[in-house]
Chain A
Amino acid sequence: MTEVAAPTKELLTASGLQMHFPVRATGLFSRKAGVVQAVDGIDLTVHEGESFGLVGESGCGKSTTGRLIARLLEPTGGSITYDGKDITHATRKQLAPIRTEIQMIFQDPYSSLNPRHTVGSIIAGPMEVNGINPPGGRQKRVQELLETVGLNPEHYNRYPHEFSGGQRQRIGIARALALQPKLIVADEPVSALDVSIQAQVVNLLQRLQRELGIAFVFIAHDLAVVRHFSQRIAVMYLGKIVEIADRADLYNNPHHPYTHALLSSVPDADPDSEKHRERIRLTGDVPSPINPPSGCRFRTRCWKAQDICASEEPPLVQLSGATEGHRAACHFPEARQVMPE
């Protein structure tokens, strides 16, 4: 397995990133409203041209993290630095030039395209908003983009309903490419698509990442898809990063119990490989992010939990004996083989 070697320039850095959503109290006397700790102090760095994967189960805060990175949300704590500039609390005006460089691709290709606009005006939208007139005109650029994503350039006059799910996702990708971004946040870009179509879109994104050198933050719950697409991957649980590593290290040498459980739960399509595989089954459900467990947030479902796990929160630290950059937040980290043969 070859990995992208030379570390390139840091493009985006988040440190201590925090997003607490206020919960409005219901009922007459419950005055004190709580907060949903959707993202609670995460550090991550995305390098130029790299694909960074974020995995985790629903409610772990991966989508919120994506929205924070694209600055669609203003964080309640911590900081985001993009290309050397602090954009944590940047105003709309200050953000305008950066918005052209960070784009998003959404999960649902049906709700993310305006049904009343033609494909041409959807893709030209970002250029219009930013007053960009590419050489040769917007229409020519739209047609180039349609071609780049594998659609017929003559179809710019059609409406979204005339396209299938996979084709619509391509339209969303063309729109994200319109301003030649440096970073694309792709939030579950293939999970709404049929399996045979998923591969088409994954291959397209991979080609774009390589040919155009765009950095990706690839958010997905499908561990196999993330592994295929991302060079570096962070696993999130209840608003925190619990483990972060290069692809090969994370999948072949995972250290956090939650990563073990997650990987061991993915059913493999080979009926024979299942027999030799270690089965780790978590009990119970993810606790509420309004009132997360003290100390380590995973401890309520962890088979290794001891007293210290409840009293002290484990920091995300470099693991001794592991590759540089392989960090986990656990008091009792341990390498374990859970992948199918």
Chain B
Amino acid sequence: MTILSVRDLKVHFSTEDGVVKAVDGLSFDLAKGKTLGIVGESGSGKSVSNLAILGLHNPKTTTIGGEIRFNDQQLVGASEKAMQKLRGNGISMIFQDPLTSLSPYYTVGEQIAETYRRHTGATKKKAWARAVEMLKKVGIPQPERRAKQYPHEFSGGMRQRAMIAIALCCDPALLIADEPTTALDVTVQAQILDLLRELQSEFETAIILITHDMGVVAQMADDVLVMYAGRAVERGTVREVLKTPEHPYSWGLLSSIPHLGGDVDVPLVPVRGTPPSLIDPPTGCPFNPRCDYRDRVPDSRCTTERPLLAPADGHGSACHLAAADKKLIRTDELQRLG
């Protein structure tokens, strides 16, 4: 059952230098209890598109177009009141840095209880009990005592657990996790990812996981969306995208990271150049200035015509290269990399 459906989402910011097209035509669906991994580099629009889902952009400088349907409710253009009802209740979010996203002036328990009371109208006592229960659920030892402590008394991993407790206390249908483990150490990251998986199967929460770490995606996601310059350049199941990627940018991302079990004598293959300006993006395919294969497409279509994500369903990529060419190039490349 699809709970979130995004169609042709556009998020444009007006700045002194011009209009930044941070997200420019993004579409995806997410079903109940599933995890969608959104990968991409800084500035690819992965966070911006998700802030748009929660209606968190400044309406004065931001233009949002397209459609965001959450359980048949249209979120683009929804009133602030309607959004407030939704945030923390139907849709929750956890951020990268748990210290700056928790209030230093309130105890952790108060912050969980406040969210719960706001949306359920429960009594203070009930809400506090819920806070302690949630802390226990996210694996914090001595939850009664810990609930009375302030965020600075928690370690990084504990704070992220507390954030997750706040996000899940109203049993949201959708959880947006924006780089939830990037600020954490690798052994703590493993704990938090395990926790998210456990809670997801218990609450049947749908998760949008925004990350730049292919390893995290491989462990967590059912489906993957690769974003570049405000657009989705590839979409598919986690196995399709990571095992048989189709877009040259996805190839680049995968061959530029060292693998733990990889051959250390094979040099990494970086994506050359730098990400494009979003004020004045390249014409045609936004990736074309960094792409090694644009000359293999006839009639310089890569610089003139914007490729669309095709096919419309299942595993697809936004690239003009012919399917046979892609296969050939990829086989060559993998052989070269051993």
Binding site for B on A (CB under 8 A): 1-2, 57-58, 164, 166-167, 194-200, 202-203, 206, 221, 223-225, 227-228, 247, 251, 261-274, 279, 281-283, 285-286, 339-341
Contact = CB atoms under 8 A, between A and B. Distances in A.
Contact of A1 (B193, B263, B275): B263
Nearest to B181: A267
A35 B200 CA distance: 42
26 contacts: A194-B41, A194-B42, A195-B212, A195-B253, A197-B41, A197-B274, A198-B256, A198-B270, A200-B272, A203-B270, A221-B185, A224-B259, A224-B262, A251-B260, A263-B260, A264-B190, A265-B186, A267-B218, A268-B218, A268-B259, A268-B261, A270-B218, A271-B218, A272-B239, A274-B218, A341-B261
Interface in B206-244: 212-219, 238-239, 242-243
A157 B9 CA distance: 41
Given A195-B253, A200-B270, A270-B242, A227 B187 contact: no
Given A270-B242, A341-B261, A281 B191 contact: yes
A273 B156 CA distance: 29
A340 B253 CA distance: 20
A196 B270 contact: yes
B59 interface: no
- 5 nearest interchain CB pairs? A267-B215, A199-B270, A196-B271, A199-B256, A57-B185
B257 A198 contact: yes
A223 B216 CA distance: 14
Contacts of A2: 265
Contacts of A166: 274
Contacts of A202: 258, 268
A247 B264 contact: yes
Given A223-B186, A228-B262, A270-B242, 18 more contacts: A57-B188, A166-B274, A194-B42, A196-B252, A196-B270, A197-B274, A203-B268, A225-B258, A227-B258, A228-B258, A228-B268, A266-B260, A267-B215, A267-B219, A269-B242, A269-B257, A274-B219, A282-B190
Contact of A269 (B189, B214, B274): B214
B267 interface: yes
A280 to B, nearest CB: 9
Contact of B186 (A221, A270, A286): A221
B248 to A, nearest CB: 12
B227 to A, nearest CB: 13
B318 interface: no
Contacts of B274: 164, 166-167, 197
Interface in B89-120: none
Interface string B259-289: 1111111011111101100000000000000
Given A267-B193, A269-B218, A281-B191, A1 B265 contact: yes
A271 B239 contact: yes
B270 A268 contact: no
A269 B239 CA distance: 10
A196 B193 contact: no
Given A223-B186, A267-B219, A196 B263 contact: no
B304 interface: no
A227 B219 contact: no
Nearest to B215: A267
Given A164-B274, A196-B270, A203-B268, A268 B260 contact: yes
B251 to A, nearest CB: 11
Given A268-B261, A339-B260, A199 B213 contact: no
Interface string B145-166: 0000000000111100000000
A144 to B, nearest CB: 22
A271 B222 CA distance: 10
Q: Considering residues A166, A199, A225, which has the most beta carbons from chain B within 10 angstroms of its beta carbon?
A: A199
B246 to A, nearest CB: 16
Contacts of B193: 267
Nearest to A55: B186
B257 A265 contact: no
A1 B275 CA distance: 34
A271 B223 CA distance: 12
Nearest to B219: A267
A225 B254 CA distance: 14
Contacts of B238: 271
B333 interface: no
Contacts of B292: none
B242 to A, nearest CB: 6
Q: Considering residues A2, A194, A203, A221, which has the most beta carbons from chain B within 10 angstroms of its beta carbon?
A: A194
B194 interface: yes
A269 B212 CA distance: 11
A61 to B, nearest CB: 14
Contacts of B188: 57, 285
A200 B275 CA distance: 14
Nearest to A288: B155
A269 B254 contact: yes
Nearest to B183: A58
A159 to B, nearest CB: 17
Nearest to B139: A283
A194 B271 CA distance: 11
Nearest to B265: A2
Contacts of B187: 57, 261-262, 265, 281-282
Nearest to A202: B268
A262 B193 CA distance: 15
Q: Considering residues B216, B258, B260, which has the most beta carbons from chain A within 10 angstroms of its beta carbon?
A: B260
A58 B185 contact: yes
Contacts of A164: 274
B163 to A, nearest CB: 16
A196 B186 contact: no
Contact of A273 (B256, B257, B261): B261
A45 B279 CA distance: 50
A269 B271 contact: no
A285 B155 contact: yes
B18 to A, nearest CB: 18
B158 A285 contact: yes
